[in-house]
Amino acid sequence: MRWPGLVAITPAAGTVGLLGAFAIGIITPVVCFFMVAVIKPKYKYDDALDAFGVHGIGGIVGSVLSGVFATQFITGNEGPQGAPLRRLAPALGADSCNALYGGL
């Protein structure tokens, strides 16, 4: 597994600060490794290069965590409002809609 943290920070690059980027870089490889090492063998889906386990899941984790770790210091006054966990539901909803649309 190469660079799942880089895949995850791409959607969040213009919205998170240094500590948010560090947290995304720590969380994402763990989730991607779990996907590749546990979920893939359990369900036996065909992904020879682990593209879905690293890039697909890493991108989803990055887009969800970009809402959690976004700061107004980086984005300005028009940026994220409210507590970080309040921004989690819209991010999950957007990713769910995206996955449903892409899966059809």
Q: What pLDDT digit, counting tens, does each position of 19-71 carry?
A: 999 999 999 999 999 999 999 999 999 888 899 999 999 999 998 998 889 88
Cα–Cα distance between 73 and 70 in angstroms, integer?
Answer: 9
pTM: 0.82
Which residues have C-beta within 8 Å of that of residue 88, sequence separation ≥ 6? Answer: 64, 67, 68
Q: How far apart are CA 103 and CA 11, in angstroms?
A: 20
How many helical (H) and strand (E) elements, i.e. helices and strands, does the chain have?
A: 7, 0
Give the count of beta carbons closer than 10 Å to the beta carbon of residue 80: 19
